Amino acid sequence: MHLAKTLLAAGLLLSTAVEAQNVLDFPQPNNNPEEFYAVTEIPAGGIIKYETDAKTGFLIADRFQSMPVAYPANYGSLTQSLAGDGDPLDVVFYTRAPMAPGTLIKLRAIGVLKMIDGGEKDDKIIAVPASKIDPTYDDVINISDLPKIEQERLQAFFRVYKQLPDGRKKVELDGFNDAAAAKQEIKAAWEAWKEKNPQ
């Protein structure tokens, strides 16, 4: 009898796991692109590149940073988004403490770092928490409101983070665009996701 109960419990657990939703399908809020959800993949200060698998939603350790640099802010992917490179749209976001990988957070865009990675457009949305999550950043409306040293730190990191090992894709930066441009990219990525995933 005990074995039957154990097997039943295991079966229920497995069926629940199979039915679990992909975190990248988490719905965007009605006021998107003013605010949007993203899943945290790499905490600020991290040196391990975690990536959310697009098919399963599982968080995978992709690689350790070869360059002696740590992520200057949290890094993740927007849910329900499809960027030009076929992946979810990337986001770099500031919080007062590093976020745990796998955590969903509602954010607000302040700009976009224009980037080419291996010849493909690979822009990074720059964001801060939505006011309801943390009002600390309420005065940071645009990328220009971020301290100059933070802007330089972001660019310095992405300029060098793939230089080792040799043979990695070349990264080129083309400065920042403002919050309005970031919102346009978010909206376009959301529309592309909805087109690919009609409901």
CATH class of this structure's domain 22-196: alpha beta
Is 37 marked as a binding-site residue?
no
Count other C-beta atoms under 10 Å from residue 114's C-beta: 17
Known binder of ligand: residue 53?
Answer: no
- Please check if 90 is assigned to a binding site: yes
Q: Say whether 108 counts as a known binding-site residue.
A: no
What residue segments make up the domains of the chain, in order of their start? 22-196
pTM given for the model: 0.88
Per-residue pLDDT of the chain (199 residues; tens, 9 = 90+): 555 555 555 554 444 444 559 999 999 999 999 999 999 999 999 999 999 999 999 999 999 999 999 999 999 999 999 999 899 999 999 999 999 999 999 999 999 999 999 889 999 999 999 999 999 999 999 999 999 999 999 999 999 999 889 888 889 999 999 999 999 999 999 999 999 999 7
137 assigned ligand-binding residue: no
Q: Is 63 annotated as a binding residue?
A: yes
Q: Which residues pair with 129 in a beta bridge?
A: 107
Q: Buried b / exposed e across 16-33, counting CB within 10 Å, b at 16+?
A: eeeeeeebbeeebeeebb
Cis peptide before 68 (omega within 30 of 0): no
